Amino acid sequence: MKKLIIFGMLLLALGACRNKKELTNNNERINRYFPEILGDLVFNLSMEEVIAKRPNLAPVNYVNDAFNFRKEFVEEVNEAGITKIIYYFDSDEQKPFYEIILIYENEKKRDADAARLLGQPNTENNTEWIIGSRQDYKIKAWKFENKLVLAAQLKGTEWEE
C-alpha cells in the first residue's frame, strides 16, 4: 500500500512540474495577446509576411472606396472557439498589419479567451484594455458582440494616437 501511495505522489509531482512548464512556455510566447492558433504572428508585419504565415487568407473587396485606407482579409478557422478572423493592413507602401478581429462562436467563449489572454480590462470604464508590446507600441483591445478586437497604435495607421 505504501508503494502505491508513493507512486501516486510521484505522479502528482510530475504533473505539477509539467503544468508549470506549460505556463512558462505560454509566458514566453512572442505575443501574449493573440490566441495560440495564430502562432508567432505579431502586429507590424507586412501584408506579405502575414499571408506567408496564414496562407488561407481571402481578400475582402468592397464595391466603393470608403475603406481605401486599408486592405482587409478574412480567414475561416473554426478552431478554439473562433469561427473567423479578420485582418486589417494599412494600404500605404509597407502595408503593416495593425488590427485583428477574432469572431467567436459565442460571447462566453470570447469572454473566456479575453480574460485568459488580456486579463481584466484596465481602462477607466473597465471595458477595454491598453496593452504594451515588446515592439514599443500600444495595443488597444475591446469586445463587441461575439468579437474581440485588437488594434495596434502604429504610426501612419488609423489607430495612431
- Would you place residue 111 in the very low, low, confident or very high pLDDT band (cuts 50, 70, 90)? very high
The answer to whether residues 84 and 105 touch, using CB atoms and an 8 Å cutoff, is no
Any idea what DSSP says for residue 65? S
Distance CA 4, CA 11 (A): 11
pLDDT per position as a tens digit, 21-76: 333 333 344 457 899 999 999 999 999 999 999 999 999 987 666 677 899 999 99
The domain ranges of the chain are: 1-29, 31-152
Q: Per the structure block, which three cell numbers stand in for 78?
A: 473554426
What is the tally of helices (H) and strands (E) in the chain?
Answer: 3, 7
Distance CA 57, CA 145 (A): 23
C-alpha distance from residue 7 to each of 1, 12, 19, 117, 152 (Å)? 10, 9, 19, 35, 50
Distance CA 161, CA 143 (A): 20
Over residues 137-152, the mean pLDDT reads 96
Within 10 Å of residue 84's Cβ, how many Cβ atoms?
14
